[in-house]
């Protein structure tokens, strides 16, 4: 059965390795997070995000704001990386300021891999990526079954190489 986790406005999170987030660092298969909010500062390495660092479960009806600073890629204002059968982000948004000095970073999600699915979500903040694959919504999408639908970015995005307003890199 789904597990629901409820948190609201945790001020700061930080880490020196991977999977650092304001709410959940690693969301496992079969776990659902719903109606959570993060507002504050998150600093980390790879898979750094406002709500979930690495997502293999489900996140819905949630949002993030504040500042997210990643340094090794796959970082996003809401989720750093999403992959795996059944992994889903829906009906969520982020207004966070997103900064990452490595690649595969997005305003909302850093990377969508394998069977990751993002739908009915948006980003309206400022995304700055210093390396390749900086996307206003998603930095990197790869895998035959990875999907992003009914989602958009209205925020600003800047970077050095492979910069896109919504989704920047797709591949199989």
Q: Are 146 and 112 in contact (CB under 8 A)?
A: yes
What is the tens place of the pLDDT at every residue in 112-147? 998 999 999 999 999 998 778 888 999 999 988 999
Residue 1 has pLDDT above 50, yes or no: no
- Looking at residue 15, its pLDDT comes to 52
Query: What SS3 state is found at 63?
Result: strand
**Mean confidence (pLDDT) of the chain:** 86
Per-residue pLDDT band for 167 (boundaries 50, 70, 90) equals: low
| CA distances, 126 to each of 24, 37, 137, 166 (Å) | 23, 18, 10, 12
Residue 149 has pLDDT above 80, yes or no: yes
| CA distances, 113 to each of 63, 84, 140, 162 (Å) | 21, 7, 8, 18
Q: CA 137 to CA 94: how far, in whole Å?
A: 10
- Looking at residue 5, its pLDDT comes to 44
Residue 81 has pLDDT above 60, yes or no: yes
CB contact set of 22 (below 8 Å; sequence gap of 6+): 10, 13, 38, 40, 42, 49, 50, 51, 64, 66
- Looking at residue 133, its pLDDT comes to 87
Q: CA 149 to CA 126: how far, in whole Å?
A: 21
- Looking at residue 132, its pLDDT comes to 83
């Amino acid at each position: 059965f789904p597990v629901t986790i409820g948190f609201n406005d945790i001020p700061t999170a930080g880490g020196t390795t991977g999977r650092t987030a304001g709410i959940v660092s690693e969301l496992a298969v079969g776990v659902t997070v719903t109606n959570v909010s993060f507002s504050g500062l998150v600093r980390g390495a790879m898979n750094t995000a406002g709500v979930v660092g690495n997502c293999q479960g489900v996140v819905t009806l949630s949002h993030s704001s504040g500042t997210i600073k990643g340094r090794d890629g796959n970082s996003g204002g809401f989720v750093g990386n999403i992959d795996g059968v059944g992994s889903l982000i829906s009906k969520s948004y982020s207004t966070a300021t997103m900064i990452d000095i490595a690649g595969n970073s997005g305003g909302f999600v850093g990377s969508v891999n394998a069977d990751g699915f993002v739908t009915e979500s948006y980003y309206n903040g400022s995304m700055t990526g210093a390396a390749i694959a900086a996307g206003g919504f998603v930095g990197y999408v790869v895998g035959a079954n990875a999907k992003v639908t009914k989602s958009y970015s209205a925020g600003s995005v800047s970077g050095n190489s492979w910069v896109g307003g919504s989704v920047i890199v797709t591949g199989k």
